[in-house]
Protein backbone atom coordinates (compact mmCIF):
# COMPACT_ATOMS: atom_id res chain seq x y z
CA UNK A 1 0.00 0.00 0.00
CA UNK A 2 2.84 2.44 0.72
CA UNK A 3 5.68 3.59 2.94
CA UNK A 4 5.99 6.74 5.03
CA UNK A 5 9.04 7.24 7.18
CA UNK A 6 9.99 3.73 8.20
CA UNK A 7 6.39 2.47 8.41
CA UNK A 8 4.97 0.24 5.69
CA UNK A 9 1.24 -0.23 5.24
CA UNK A 10 0.42 -3.64 3.80
CA UNK A 11 -2.84 -5.32 2.81
CA UNK A 12 -3.43 -8.98 3.62
CA UNK A 13 -4.56 -10.41 0.27
CA UNK A 14 -6.52 -13.17 2.01
CA UNK A 15 -8.46 -11.12 4.55
CA UNK A 16 -8.23 -7.59 3.17
CA UNK A 17 -6.97 -6.34 6.54
CA UNK A 18 -4.40 -3.52 6.66
CA UNK A 19 -1.22 -4.14 8.61
CA UNK A 20 1.45 -1.61 9.56
CA UNK A 21 5.03 -2.67 10.19
CA UNK A 22 8.32 -0.88 10.71
CA UNK A 23 11.48 -1.72 8.78
CA UNK A 24 15.08 -0.65 8.36
CA UNK A 25 15.09 -1.62 4.69
CA UNK A 26 12.76 -3.33 2.22
CA UNK A 27 13.68 -6.09 -0.22
CA UNK A 28 11.59 -5.94 -3.38
CA UNK A 29 11.68 -9.49 -4.74
CA UNK A 30 8.40 -9.39 -6.66
CA UNK A 31 9.85 -10.51 -10.00
CA UNK A 32 7.73 -9.43 -12.97
CA UNK A 33 5.75 -7.18 -10.60
CA UNK A 34 8.91 -5.35 -9.46
CA UNK A 35 8.05 -2.00 -11.04
CA UNK A 36 4.51 -2.03 -9.66
CA UNK A 37 5.78 -2.74 -6.16
CA UNK A 38 8.47 -0.09 -6.45
CA UNK A 39 5.93 2.51 -7.57
CA UNK A 40 3.76 1.83 -4.53
CA UNK A 41 6.80 2.36 -2.30
CA UNK A 42 7.99 5.48 -4.09
CA UNK A 43 10.82 3.76 -5.90
CA UNK A 44 12.42 4.37 -9.27
CA UNK A 45 11.33 2.61 -12.45
CA UNK A 46 10.72 1.10 -14.86
CA UNK A 47 13.45 -1.52 -14.58
CA UNK A 48 11.98 -4.80 -15.83
CA UNK A 49 10.20 -6.08 -18.88
CA UNK A 50 8.31 -9.35 -18.87
CA UNK A 51 8.47 -12.09 -21.45
CA UNK A 52 6.36 -15.16 -20.99
CA UNK A 53 7.59 -18.68 -21.45
CA UNK A 54 5.05 -21.45 -21.96
CA UNK A 55 5.91 -25.12 -21.42
CA UNK A 56 4.13 -28.33 -22.33
CA UNK A 57 4.17 -31.59 -20.39
CA UNK A 58 3.59 -34.57 -22.67
CA UNK A 59 2.60 -38.14 -22.03
CA UNK A 60 4.72 -39.57 -24.86
CA UNK A 61 6.53 -42.81 -23.89
CA UNK A 62 8.24 -43.18 -27.29
CA UNK A 63 9.85 -39.75 -27.05
CA UNK A 64 10.81 -40.26 -23.43
CA UNK A 65 12.48 -43.57 -24.29
CA UNK A 66 14.28 -42.00 -27.26
CA UNK A 67 15.69 -39.24 -25.09
CA UNK A 68 17.06 -41.88 -22.69
CA UNK A 69 17.64 -39.44 -19.86
CA UNK A 70 19.17 -36.75 -22.06
CA UNK A 71 18.13 -33.18 -22.85
CA UNK A 72 17.77 -32.03 -26.45
CA UNK A 73 18.71 -28.36 -26.79
CA UNK A 74 18.12 -26.73 -30.16
CA UNK A 75 17.19 -23.61 -32.09
CA UNK A 76 13.79 -23.38 -33.74
CA UNK A 77 13.31 -21.90 -37.22
CA UNK A 78 12.47 -18.49 -35.71
CA UNK A 79 15.73 -18.42 -33.74
CA UNK A 80 14.17 -19.27 -30.40
CA UNK A 81 16.21 -21.74 -28.32
CA UNK A 82 14.04 -24.63 -27.11
CA UNK A 83 14.60 -27.66 -24.91
CA UNK A 84 12.97 -31.03 -24.46
CA UNK A 85 13.85 -33.54 -21.76
CA UNK A 86 12.43 -36.40 -19.67
CA UNK A 87 10.50 -35.12 -16.66
CA UNK A 88 9.52 -37.85 -14.17
CA UNK A 89 7.44 -40.23 -16.30
CA UNK A 90 6.59 -37.48 -18.79
CA UNK A 91 8.41 -35.22 -21.27
CA UNK A 92 8.74 -31.47 -20.86
CA UNK A 93 9.17 -29.12 -23.80
CA UNK A 94 9.63 -25.36 -23.78
CA UNK A 95 9.52 -22.61 -24.24
CA UNK A 96 8.07 -19.58 -25.93
CA UNK A 97 9.46 -16.06 -25.40
CA UNK A 98 6.74 -13.46 -25.85
CA UNK A 99 6.71 -9.89 -24.44
CA UNK A 100 3.83 -9.24 -22.04
CA UNK A 101 2.52 -6.13 -20.33
CA UNK A 102 0.43 -7.62 -17.53
CA UNK A 103 1.86 -10.70 -15.77
CA UNK A 104 -1.49 -11.31 -14.05
CA UNK A 105 -3.24 -12.07 -17.33
CA UNK A 106 -0.95 -14.65 -18.92
CA UNK A 107 -1.97 -18.13 -20.03
CA UNK A 108 -0.58 -20.59 -22.54
CA UNK A 109 -2.40 -19.72 -25.74
CA UNK A 110 -3.45 -22.40 -28.28
CA UNK A 111 -1.00 -20.91 -30.80
CA UNK A 112 1.86 -21.53 -28.35
CA UNK A 113 0.83 -25.17 -27.96
CA UNK A 114 0.82 -25.54 -31.75
CA UNK A 115 4.19 -23.78 -32.03
CA UNK A 116 5.90 -26.14 -29.56
CA UNK A 117 4.31 -29.22 -31.12
CA UNK A 118 5.50 -28.07 -34.55
CA UNK A 119 9.01 -27.64 -33.11
CA UNK A 120 8.91 -31.25 -31.89
CA UNK A 121 7.74 -32.47 -35.29
CA UNK A 122 10.67 -30.70 -36.92
CA UNK A 123 13.28 -32.03 -34.50
CA UNK A 124 11.82 -35.57 -34.31
CA UNK A 125 10.35 -36.10 -37.80
CA UNK A 126 9.86 -39.84 -37.34
CA UNK A 127 7.48 -39.40 -34.41
CA UNK A 128 3.87 -38.25 -34.27
CA UNK A 129 2.82 -35.42 -31.97
CA UNK A 130 -0.56 -33.88 -31.30
CA UNK A 131 -2.54 -31.93 -28.74
CA UNK A 132 -3.82 -35.14 -27.19
CA UNK A 133 -0.27 -35.86 -26.01
CA UNK A 134 -0.31 -32.69 -23.87
CA UNK A 135 -1.43 -33.41 -20.31
CA UNK A 136 -0.46 -30.07 -18.74
CA UNK A 137 0.77 -26.62 -19.66
CA UNK A 138 2.27 -23.91 -17.53
CA UNK A 139 3.65 -20.45 -18.14
CA UNK A 140 5.90 -18.05 -16.25
CA UNK A 141 7.02 -14.48 -16.78
CA UNK A 142 10.74 -13.73 -16.92
CA UNK A 143 11.48 -10.46 -15.05
CA UNK A 144 14.19 -9.38 -17.49
CA UNK A 145 16.10 -6.11 -17.25
CA UNK A 146 14.71 -3.53 -19.67
CA UNK A 147 16.43 -3.68 -23.03
CA UNK A 148 16.29 -2.27 -26.56
CA UNK A 149 17.04 -5.70 -28.07
CA UNK A 150 15.18 -6.49 -31.29
CA UNK A 151 14.10 -9.95 -30.14
CA UNK A 152 13.14 -11.22 -26.65
CA UNK A 153 15.73 -14.00 -26.97
CA UNK A 154 18.49 -11.39 -27.25
CA UNK A 155 17.69 -9.83 -23.86
CA UNK A 156 20.23 -10.70 -21.19
CA UNK A 157 19.20 -13.29 -18.60
CA UNK A 158 21.65 -11.87 -16.07
CA UNK A 159 20.38 -10.59 -12.74
CA UNK A 160 21.30 -7.53 -10.70
CA UNK A 161 20.60 -5.91 -7.35
CA UNK A 162 19.56 -2.24 -7.39
CA UNK A 163 18.89 0.25 -4.60
CA UNK A 164 16.32 3.02 -4.36
CA UNK A 165 17.63 5.39 -1.67
CA UNK A 166 15.37 7.13 0.85
CA UNK A 167 13.36 10.05 -0.50
CA UNK A 168 11.22 12.89 0.84
CA UNK A 169 8.51 10.47 2.02
CA UNK A 170 10.37 7.23 2.70
CA UNK A 171 13.21 7.09 5.22
CA UNK A 172 14.46 3.63 4.32
CA UNK A 173 16.11 2.17 1.19
CA UNK A 174 14.52 -0.37 -1.14
CA UNK A 175 16.73 -3.19 -2.38
CA UNK A 176 15.35 -4.49 -5.69
CA UNK A 177 16.07 -7.80 -7.41
CA UNK A 178 16.08 -7.44 -11.20
CA UNK A 179 16.04 -10.61 -13.28
CA UNK A 180 16.94 -13.97 -11.79
CA UNK A 181 15.53 -17.46 -12.20
CA UNK A 182 15.30 -20.78 -10.40
CA UNK A 183 18.77 -21.91 -11.40
CA UNK A 184 20.41 -18.78 -9.97
CA UNK A 185 18.20 -17.99 -6.98
CA UNK A 186 20.83 -18.74 -4.37
CA UNK A 187 23.51 -16.54 -5.88
CA UNK A 188 20.99 -13.73 -6.36
CA UNK A 189 19.77 -14.02 -2.78
CA UNK A 190 23.35 -13.87 -1.50
CA UNK A 191 24.02 -10.73 -3.52
CA UNK A 192 20.81 -9.20 -2.20
CA UNK A 193 21.75 -10.11 1.36
CA UNK A 194 25.16 -8.50 0.93
CA UNK A 195 23.45 -5.29 -0.21
CA UNK A 196 21.01 -5.36 2.71
CA UNK A 197 23.89 -5.84 5.16
CA UNK A 198 25.67 -2.87 3.62
CA UNK A 199 22.56 -0.72 3.93
CA UNK A 200 22.26 -1.74 7.60
CA UNK A 201 25.94 -1.17 8.27
CA UNK A 202 26.51 -4.78 9.28
CA UNK A 203 29.05 -7.41 8.29
CA UNK A 204 28.36 -10.91 7.05
CA UNK A 205 29.19 -13.51 9.70
CA UNK A 206 28.55 -16.67 7.66
CA UNK A 207 28.22 -17.78 4.06
CA UNK A 208 25.44 -20.04 2.79
CA UNK A 209 27.17 -20.70 -0.54
CA UNK A 210 27.91 -24.35 0.25
CA UNK A 211 25.10 -24.89 2.76
CA UNK A 212 22.67 -27.70 1.81
CA UNK A 213 19.08 -26.68 2.44
CA UNK A 214 15.72 -28.41 2.83
CA UNK A 215 15.60 -32.03 1.77
CA UNK A 216 19.06 -31.65 0.24
CA UNK A 217 20.69 -31.50 3.68
CA UNK A 218 22.20 -34.89 4.60
CA UNK A 219 20.81 -36.43 1.42
CA UNK A 220 22.53 -39.70 0.51
CA UNK A 221 24.84 -39.15 -2.44
CA UNK A 222 25.18 -42.55 -4.16
CA UNK A 223 23.07 -45.58 -4.94
CA UNK A 224 24.30 -47.63 -1.97
CA UNK A 225 23.72 -44.78 0.47
CA UNK A 226 20.25 -44.20 -0.97
CA UNK A 227 19.38 -47.86 -0.50
CA UNK A 228 20.56 -47.75 3.12
CA UNK A 229 18.45 -44.65 3.68
CA UNK A 230 15.38 -46.34 2.19
CA UNK A 231 15.94 -49.41 4.37
CA UNK A 232 16.19 -47.13 7.41
CA UNK A 233 12.86 -45.57 6.43
CA UNK A 234 11.12 -48.90 6.01
CA UNK A 235 12.44 -50.16 9.35
CA UNK A 236 11.43 -47.02 11.21
CA UNK A 237 7.98 -46.69 9.64
CA UNK A 238 6.95 -50.17 8.55
CA UNK A 239 5.98 -48.91 5.07
CA UNK A 240 6.92 -50.72 1.88
CA UNK A 241 10.11 -50.20 -0.09
CA UNK A 242 8.43 -48.59 -3.12
CA UNK A 243 6.51 -46.11 -0.98
CA UNK A 244 9.66 -45.16 0.94
CA UNK A 245 11.51 -44.58 -2.34
CA UNK A 246 8.68 -42.38 -3.58
CA UNK A 247 8.80 -40.22 -0.46
CA UNK A 248 12.59 -39.94 -0.70
CA UNK A 249 12.35 -38.71 -4.28
CA UNK A 250 9.75 -36.10 -3.29
CA UNK A 251 11.09 -34.85 0.03
CA UNK A 252 14.77 -35.78 0.14
CA UNK A 253 16.20 -36.31 3.62
CA UNK A 254 12.98 -34.99 5.16
CA UNK A 255 11.33 -38.21 4.05
CA UNK A 256 12.49 -40.16 7.13
CA UNK A 257 10.53 -38.26 9.82
CA UNK A 258 7.66 -37.82 7.35
CA UNK A 259 7.45 -41.57 6.76
CA UNK A 260 7.14 -42.16 10.49
CA UNK A 261 4.43 -39.52 10.76
CA UNK A 262 2.45 -40.88 7.83
CA UNK A 263 2.69 -44.46 9.08
CA UNK A 264 1.37 -43.40 12.47
CA UNK A 265 -1.59 -41.71 10.77
CA UNK A 266 -2.40 -44.64 8.51
CA UNK A 267 -0.77 -44.22 5.11
CA UNK A 268 -3.62 -45.44 2.87
CA UNK A 269 -3.30 -44.58 -0.86
CA UNK A 270 -5.96 -42.38 -2.40
CA UNK A 271 -8.42 -44.28 -4.54
CA UNK A 272 -8.07 -42.02 -7.59
CA UNK A 273 -4.50 -40.78 -7.08
CA UNK A 274 -2.66 -43.73 -5.48
CA UNK A 275 0.77 -42.06 -5.67
CA UNK A 276 -0.37 -40.05 -2.66
CA UNK A 277 -2.19 -40.89 0.54
CA UNK A 278 -4.77 -38.92 2.51
CA UNK A 279 -2.23 -38.69 5.35
CA UNK A 280 0.38 -37.17 3.04
CA UNK A 281 -2.05 -34.60 1.63
CA UNK A 282 -3.20 -33.71 5.16
CA UNK A 283 0.43 -33.18 6.15
CA UNK A 284 0.93 -30.85 3.19
CA UNK A 285 -2.24 -28.93 4.04
CA UNK A 286 -1.23 -28.41 7.65
CA UNK A 287 2.53 -27.90 7.33
CA UNK A 288 3.14 -26.06 4.04
CA UNK A 289 0.77 -23.12 4.21
CA UNK A 290 -2.02 -24.45 1.97
CA UNK A 291 -4.90 -21.98 1.85
CA UNK A 292 -6.72 -22.99 -1.34
CA UNK A 293 -7.21 -26.30 -3.09
CA UNK A 294 -5.11 -25.19 -6.06
CA UNK A 295 -2.20 -24.60 -3.66
CA UNK A 296 -2.30 -28.31 -2.89
CA UNK A 297 -3.03 -29.69 -6.35
CA UNK A 298 -0.85 -27.41 -8.48
CA UNK A 299 1.94 -26.21 -6.18
CA UNK A 300 2.43 -28.72 -3.35
CA UNK A 301 2.13 -31.98 -5.27
CA UNK A 302 3.19 -33.36 -8.65
CA UNK A 303 -0.33 -34.52 -9.48
CA UNK A 304 -1.31 -31.74 -11.86
CA UNK A 305 1.99 -31.37 -13.69
CA UNK A 306 2.10 -35.13 -14.32
CA UNK A 307 -1.40 -35.05 -15.77
CA UNK A 308 -2.84 -37.24 -13.02
CA UNK A 309 -5.76 -35.03 -12.00
CA UNK A 310 -9.12 -36.39 -13.09
CA UNK A 311 -12.55 -35.19 -11.98
CA UNK A 312 -12.77 -38.09 -9.52
CA UNK A 313 -9.26 -37.47 -8.17
CA UNK A 314 -9.91 -33.76 -7.71
CA UNK A 315 -13.10 -34.46 -5.76
CA UNK A 316 -11.26 -36.95 -3.56
CA UNK A 317 -8.41 -34.51 -2.90
CA UNK A 318 -10.90 -31.75 -2.10
CA UNK A 319 -12.46 -34.00 0.51
CA UNK A 320 -9.11 -34.62 2.20
CA UNK A 321 -8.24 -30.90 2.15
CA UNK A 322 -11.65 -29.96 3.54
CA UNK A 323 -11.22 -32.23 6.54
CA UNK A 324 -7.63 -31.15 7.18
CA UNK A 325 -8.39 -27.43 6.93
CA UNK A 326 -11.87 -27.41 8.44
CA UNK A 327 -13.79 -26.28 5.36
CA UNK A 328 -17.57 -26.60 5.41
CA UNK A 329 -19.47 -28.01 2.42
CA UNK A 330 -19.94 -24.64 0.72
CA UNK A 331 -16.27 -23.70 1.04
CA UNK A 332 -15.13 -27.12 -0.16
CA UNK A 333 -17.39 -26.95 -3.20
CA UNK A 334 -16.21 -23.45 -4.07
CA UNK A 335 -12.57 -24.57 -3.78
CA UNK A 336 -13.29 -27.56 -6.01
CA UNK A 337 -14.96 -25.42 -8.65
CA UNK A 338 -12.25 -22.74 -8.59
CA UNK A 339 -9.42 -25.28 -8.83
CA UNK A 340 -11.10 -27.18 -11.66
CA UNK A 341 -11.57 -23.92 -13.57
CA UNK A 342 -7.91 -22.99 -13.12
CA UNK A 343 -6.72 -26.41 -14.27
CA UNK A 344 -9.03 -26.39 -17.27
CA UNK A 345 -8.56 -22.77 -18.41
CA UNK A 346 -4.97 -22.03 -17.36
CA UNK A 347 -3.28 -25.43 -17.62
CA UNK A 348 -5.21 -27.20 -20.39
CA UNK A 349 -6.24 -30.11 -18.14
CA UNK A 350 -9.23 -31.96 -19.51
CA UNK A 351 -11.81 -31.71 -16.72
CA UNK A 352 -15.54 -31.23 -16.63
CA UNK A 353 -16.95 -27.85 -15.67
CA UNK A 354 -18.38 -27.75 -12.14
CA UNK A 355 -21.68 -25.88 -12.12
CA UNK A 356 -22.03 -23.24 -9.37
CA UNK A 357 -25.32 -24.72 -8.12
CA UNK A 358 -24.33 -28.39 -8.43
CA UNK A 359 -24.40 -30.58 -5.35
CA UNK A 360 -20.84 -31.44 -4.29
CA UNK A 361 -19.83 -35.08 -4.41
CA UNK A 362 -16.58 -35.77 -2.57
CA UNK A 363 -14.95 -39.18 -2.51
CA UNK A 364 -12.51 -38.90 0.34
CA UNK A 365 -12.35 -41.71 2.86
CA UNK A 366 -13.00 -39.12 5.55
CA UNK A 367 -16.39 -37.80 4.43
CA UNK A 368 -17.85 -38.53 7.84
CA UNK A 369 -16.03 -35.44 9.11
CA UNK A 370 -18.15 -32.68 10.64
CA UNK A 371 -16.63 -30.47 7.91
CA UNK A 372 -19.17 -32.04 5.58
CA UNK A 373 -22.16 -31.42 7.78
CA UNK A 374 -22.23 -34.92 9.25
CA UNK A 375 -21.70 -36.18 12.76
Q: Which of 239, 364, 126 is nearest to 230 (CA)?
A: 239
Q: Which helix (H) or strand (E) holds 21?
A: strand 18-22
User: Is 8 part of any domain?
Assistant: no
Residue numbers of the chain with a pLDDT score lower than 50: 364-375
Domain end, chosen from 123, 145, 167, is at 145
Cross-strand pairs, 28 = 176
User: Is 14 part of any domain?
Assistant: no
Residues 195 and 303 in one domain: no
Q: How far apart are CA 291 and CA 335, in angstroms?
A: 10
Residues 139 and 245 in one domain: no
Sign of CA dihedral 149, 175, 9, 14: positive
Number of domains in the chain: 3
For 287-297, how does the pLDDT look when each residue is reduced to its tens digit (9 = 90+)?
Answer: 999 999 999 99
Residues 261 and 358 in one domain: yes
User: Is 19 part of any domain?
Assistant: no
The whole-number pLDDT of residue 372 equals 34
The whole-number pLDDT of residue 254 equals 95
User: Is 187 part of any domain?
Assistant: yes
Domain assignment of residue 42, given as a range: 25-47+151-207
Long-range contacts of 81-84 (CB under 8 A, 24+ apart): 81/153, 82/116, 82/119, 84/120, 84/123
Domain end, chosen from 97, 122, 145, is at 145
Residues 345 and 227 in one domain: yes
User: Is 215 part of any domain?
Assistant: no
Residues 254 and 171 in one domain: no
User: Is 1 part of any domain?
Assistant: no
Residues 157 and 277 in one domain: no
Q: 131: how many CB neighbours lie within 10 A of its CB?
A: 11
Domain end, chosen from 145, 173, 195, is at 145
104 conformational bin, left if phi > 0, alpha if psi -120 to 50, beta if neither: alpha
Dump the DSSP string for 216-243: GTT---SHHHHHHHHHHHHHHH---HHH
User: pTM for the full model?
Assistant: 0.86
Amino acid sequence: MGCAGNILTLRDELTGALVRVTADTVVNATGAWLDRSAAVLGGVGPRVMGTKGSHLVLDHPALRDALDGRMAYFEAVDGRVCIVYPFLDRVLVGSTDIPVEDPDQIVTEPAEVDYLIDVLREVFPNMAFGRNDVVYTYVGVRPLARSDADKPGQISRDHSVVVDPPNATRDIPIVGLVGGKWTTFRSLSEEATNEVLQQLGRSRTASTELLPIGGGADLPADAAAIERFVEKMTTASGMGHARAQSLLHRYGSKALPLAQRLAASGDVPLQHAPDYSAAELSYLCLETGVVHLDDLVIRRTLLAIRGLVTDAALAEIAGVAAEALGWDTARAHNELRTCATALRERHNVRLQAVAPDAEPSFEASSMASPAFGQS
